[in-house]
Structure 1
Amino acid sequence: MNQRSLWDISPPVHSASPVFPGDTRYSQRWCATITPDCPVNVSAITLSPHVGAHADAPLHYDATGAAIGEIPLTPFLGTCRVIHAISCGPLIEWRHIEHAVAGLPERVLVRTYERMPQHAWDGALSAYAPDTVRRLADLGVKLIGIDTASIDPADSKTLDSHQVIRQRDMRVLENLVLDDVPEGDYELIALPLKLTQADASPVRAVLRALR
């Protein structure tokens, strides 16, 4: 029996964290350091809001969509189901997850990696098939998550699954680390920052055992 009660499903964020080619990597500089004349360390950071575990805002895939700080937090907090579709190939098809869709909660996270590559970009990442997203929406799912960098293939120019998210007013989490999380139901806590102009936000995503 698994005795854990909390799973941190966020990858570490640092200068070597992988990003989409051309996106802004994490960088940090020190504005002040502790010295006899200064009592604190203070840093400045630069990064894409899509580095590490993050929540996309409608603004990311809709020119008139809401920024991440404007959307309700409810989808990012509550009961979720982790479903394994390890080594499913380019797309998560319905057949890869249908074994675990009975009585779905409003949040679904799909694990595709045996071990999530936390230090290297994967251009061959697995993504959601648009029909899978539609069928999850039909079952009342409000948020989907994945352990890759995108719910669409890395080379997609049409972002078909993101467009389903837009059409069905769903939310999405990407770059989760689900390596050690058994299939089953958990409490998800993955709150985005209240960034009033941003197209996404980093999250510290955790799963908690249901009691």
Structure 2
Amino acid sequence: MKIYDISMEIHENMTVYKNKKEKRPKHTITVDSGDVRESRISMDMHTGAHIDAPLHMIRGGDTVENIDLNKVITKCKVFDFTNISDKITSEDLASKDIQKGDFIIFKTRNSFREDFDFEFVYLDKSGAQFLKEKGVIGVGIDALGIERNQPEHETHKILLGAGIVILEGLRLKDVEEGEYFLYAAPLKIRGAEASPTRAVLIKEE
């Protein structure tokens, strides 16, 4: 089998949403004596590859420790949308083989940029509604947000309101369109609206 690490490397100068300084992680050495080293990291829950739970956009929504692991340790389908320059819509999705119970991952031109792109490719509300009606269990994208400049956060609310897991911050440059096995379990953080994950795709050879 071949394992694709589709996570971002976490460090103090990494790409963060809209280049906001307060979102940059801080890694501090707390003990460095003899053979012993210990350190502490402080970072936004939405750093790098991460899972959004319903509470992120839905008041009173469920939290990340309650996400069904069957939804994030599962077969998945990667779709290549590198030809799209703005947003993924229901029309773009209609030609793809999307079935009830699928976990869908979007590879876009976002994967080929190291800096933050304020015009990143995103999933619009029509695409989110399409996936809700199809009955998918999860959606992943190679951007630090699954939507951009939608004032009511419709994409998030449609997906999270339907119990669809959102996986953001992926790196898919070396991944081809096809079927894989996804492992993207979040940390078991009580009461959190999101969690970083070490996301990988596995391809049986």
| TM norm. shorter chain > 0.5 | yes
Match of 2:131 among 114, 123, 136: 136
Q: SS of the residue aligned with 2:147? A: coil
Partners of 2:182 and 2:200 within 8 A in 1: yes
Aligned to 1:34: 33
> What pairs up with 1:1-211 in 2 under 5 angstroms?
5-21=2-18, 22=20, 23-35=22-34, 39-101=35-97, 103=99, 106-113=102-109, 115-118=111-114, 120-153=115-148, 155-210=149-204
Q: Distance in 1 between matches of 2:64 and 2:17?
A: 20
Q: Distance in 1 between matches of 2:179 and 2:36?
A: 42
Q: Distance in 2 between matches of 1:105 and 1:9?
A: 22
41-50 vs 103-112, which moves further: 103-112
16-25 vs 126-135, which moves further: 16-25
Partners of 1:116 and 1:148 within 8 A in 2: no
Compute the displacement of 1:63 (Å): 1.9
81-90 vs 98-107, which moves further: 98-107
TM-score (norm 1): 0.89
Partners of 1:67 and 1:200 within 8 A in 2: yes
TM-score (norm 2): 0.91
Q: Distance in 2 between matches of 1:178 and 1:105?
A: 22
Question: RMSD of the TM alignment (CA)?
Answer: 1.8
Which sections of structure 2, spanning at least 5 residues, go unmatched?
Answer: none
Partners of 2:7 and 2:171 within 8 A in 1: yes
Query: Which amino acid counterpart does residue 131 of structure 1 have in structure 2?
Result: S
* Overall identity of the aligned pairs, in %: 28
Partners of 2:186 and 2:196 within 8 A in 1: yes
Q: Distance in 2 between matches of 1:40 and 1:113?
A: 43
Deviations 1:148-203 (A, max 9, x none): 111111x3331110010133111110011111111111101000000112211111
169-178 vs 103-112, which moves further: 103-112
Q: Distance in 2 between matches of 1:152 and 1:103?
A: 22
Q: Distance in 2 between matches of 1:114 and 1:184?
A: 18
Which 4+ runs in 1 deviate beyond 6 A?
none
128-137 vs 99-108, which moves further: 99-108
Q: Distance in 2 between matches of 1:78 and 1:137?
A: 18
Query: Which amino acid counterpart does residue 173 of structure 1 have in structure 2?
Result: L
Q: SS of the residue aligned with 1:100? A: coil
